[in-house]
Amino acid sequence: MVKKFLAVLLGLVLGYMLIDDFNPETVKGRNVFITGASTGIGEQLAYHYARLGANVVITARRENKLKEVIEKCKELGTKEQTYDYVVADMIDLNATGSVLQKAISKLGGRLDYLVLNHIILLDLGVWTGSSHNLSLIDKVINVNFQSYVYLASHALPHLEKSKGSIIVVSSFAGKFGQPFVSIYSASKFALDGFFGGLRQELKLRNCDISITTCVLGLIGTENAINQLLGFGQNQLLNMLTAASPSDTAFQIIRSGAKRVRQMYYPMLQIYPLVLMRDWFPETCDFLNRYVYTLNS
């Protein structure tokens, strides 16, 4: 009886997961601004949005990389779409207002999706409380957290008009503290707190802006893999399968278009631990730690 019940339950869950009710037409003609789009997941987001018929403006610091991404977007989309970029360093919070204004004017004055994805590139390391450790706090919190809040804040009136969406690219490290990236984890936890609160306020104000938080596991971007290898985490790379940046980007777009509250990807790699974290903290910590290697 119990076995039958579990089999039916599993069937229902798998069935639900396999139903793809994403309609790509919902993205066509939409105006999208993507941060951190010169490489990695952000770059792939730009390609998928272009292919799906959206107007795309991207930002990051390296202009040559942004130009290359835009050229490829042009090949993937149609002549009628807009593709452009704004060069910006998100450590400069005062510049975020003009960055957003420039992006919106390139998009013809309307914004439908704000996709917050950039992160500062950090070497993995043990937090010993050294002056180097402490010197990272402001930079990481500025770029990974505060600039997200600033950009979202500047975008709110525009998104309110368009009934648009904010997509926040976060991490398993923002749900479950991870070793060797403590300050990165802290910045991602902060995103969950801020955007969780903002989401509630928007509902209370009957404001039709959706916020999708994307909780990602291991994704095989060049920077992520190099960071792990650089800190001797070969065991982690052997034990976990890194998802493809392109598939991840597509799932982010899909979840944003469906106005999903929170998405986990790859789901089976991270969701069970997040679910069990508060019930069995020691066991979950142990399982999580199991994939890491402490190099002396």
Residues acting as catalytic residues? 184
Residue 19 in contact with residue 42, Cβ under 8 Å? no
Q: How far is the CB of 151 from ligand NDP (least distance, A)?
A: 11
Site string for ligand NDP, 142-181 (x = CB under 6 A): -x-------------------------x-x----------
- Spatial separation of the C-alpha atoms in residues 3 and 136, rounded to whole Å: 52
Q: Which residues pair with 85 in a beta bridge?
A: 58
- Spatial separation of the C-alpha atoms in residues 130 and 134, rounded to whole Å: 6
Q: How far is the CB of 168 from ligand NDP (least distance, A)?
A: 8
Residue 43 in contact with residue 69, Cβ under 8 Å? yes
User: Which CB atom, from 38 or from 213, has the smaller least distance to ligand NDP?
Assistant: 38
User: Which CB atom, from 106 or from 172, has the smaller least distance to ligand NDP?
Assistant: 172
Q: Which residue intervals of 127-221 are DSSP H helices?
A: 131-140, 147-162, 182-204
Q: Which stretch binds ligand NDP (CB under 6 A): 87-95, 196-204, 257-265, 288-296?
A: 87-95
User: Which CB atom, from 31 or from 39, has the smaller least distance to ligand NDP?
Assistant: 39
Tokens of 26: 């919902």
Q: How far is the CB of 204 from ligand NDP (least distance, A)?
A: 28
User: Which CB atom, from 26 or from 227, has the smaller least distance to ligand NDP?
Assistant: 227
Q: Which of 51, 65, 74, 258 binds ligand NDP (CB under 6 A)?
A: 65
Q: Does 119 bind ligand NDP (CB under 6 A)?
A: yes
Q: Which of 224, 253, 270, 273 binds ligand NDP (CB under 6 A)?
A: 224
Q: Does 39 bind ligand NDP (CB under 6 A)?
A: yes
Q: Does 221 bind ligand NDP (CB under 6 A)?
A: yes
User: Which CB atom, from 139 or from 205, has the smaller least distance to ligand NDP?
Assistant: 139
Q: Does 38 bind ligand NDP (CB under 6 A)?
A: yes
Alpha carbons within 13 A on the beta-carbon side of 201: 8
Parallel, antiparallel, or unpaired: how do β-strands 55-60 and 31-35 relate? parallel
Q: Does 111 bind ligand NDP (CB under 6 A)?
A: no
Q: Does 67 bind ligand NDP (CB under 6 A)?
A: no
Q: Does 117 bind ligand NDP (CB under 6 A)?
A: yes
Name the DSSP letter for residue 141.
I
Q: Which residue intervals of the chain are DSSP H helices?
A: 2-18, 40-51, 63-76, 96-106, 131-140, 147-162, 182-204, 222-230, 234-239, 245-257, 267-276, 281-289
Site string for ligand NDP, 246-275 (x = CB under 6 A): ------------------------------
Using CB atoms within 10 A of its CB, is residue 256 exposed (0-12), middle (13-18) or buried (19+)? Answer: buried
Residue 170 in contact with residue 262, Cβ under 8 Å? no
Q: Which of 216, 263, 273, 284 binds ligand NDP (CB under 6 A)?
A: 216
Residue 133 Cα distances to 16, 45, 65, 91, 196, angstroms = 44, 32, 30, 18, 28
> Strand, helix or coil at 163?
coil
Residue 123 in contact with residue 140, Cβ under 8 Å? no
Q: Contact positions toward ligand NDP, by CB under 6 A?
A: 36-42, 60-62, 65, 88-91, 117-121, 143, 169, 171, 216, 218-219, 221, 223-224
